[in-house]
Amino acid sequence: MPAELHLSKLDVALRQLETAITLYFHYADPISIHTLTAAAYNVLRNIKTHRGVDFTMLKDAEQVYPHMRDKFRSVLNEAENFFKHADRDPDDTIAFAPDLSDILLIEACEIYGRLTGERRPILTLYIAWFCIRNPQYYKSVPQVNYLNKEYQETDRLLYFREILPGASNQCR
């Protein structure tokens, strides 16, 4: 391990996203996945705001009724805050739905690309997986020429192992 790492905020967000995605495809701990995803999401959201970039993110809640925005953000932030803090509620419990991580992760991957103009292999891999698994949300599922199998019913670890090399070559 190096004595020091010199990192930008975008470097940190990318590392958090890539680690969260790797954990996701390996069926690792959903709490760790969510915590890393939420941290990256918030860094990217702050960068977007600081740069004055004009696009809305889910946590901005602009499409939510004004009187419901605080409640909406509270629901989105509940697990993130529960996983990070115990100052007010050390004996509390939570019912956590890991699917929330998928929503934050897909948006964070897309936002990273919009902020940097980069197509990172693991992020591209996750975006394609999410679109393939959730076609009901998209006008069209991305055509990725290294996807030559049907992955709707496939194990995500198999997808990760088979597709990552092709994604790495496509994103260069």
Q: What is the pLDDT of residues 112-144, one digit of tens each?
A: 999 999 989 899 889 888 887 777 877 766 555
Distance CA 124, CA 7 (A): 22
Residue 57 has a pLDDT of 74
CA angle, 61 as apex, 42 and 92 as ends, to 5°? 65
Residue 27 has a pLDDT of 92
Residue 61 has a pLDDT of 65
Under-50 pLDDT residues of the chain: 145-148, 171-172
Cα within 13 Å of Cα(133), Cβ side:
15
Residue 168 has a pLDDT of 54
pTM of the model: 0.81
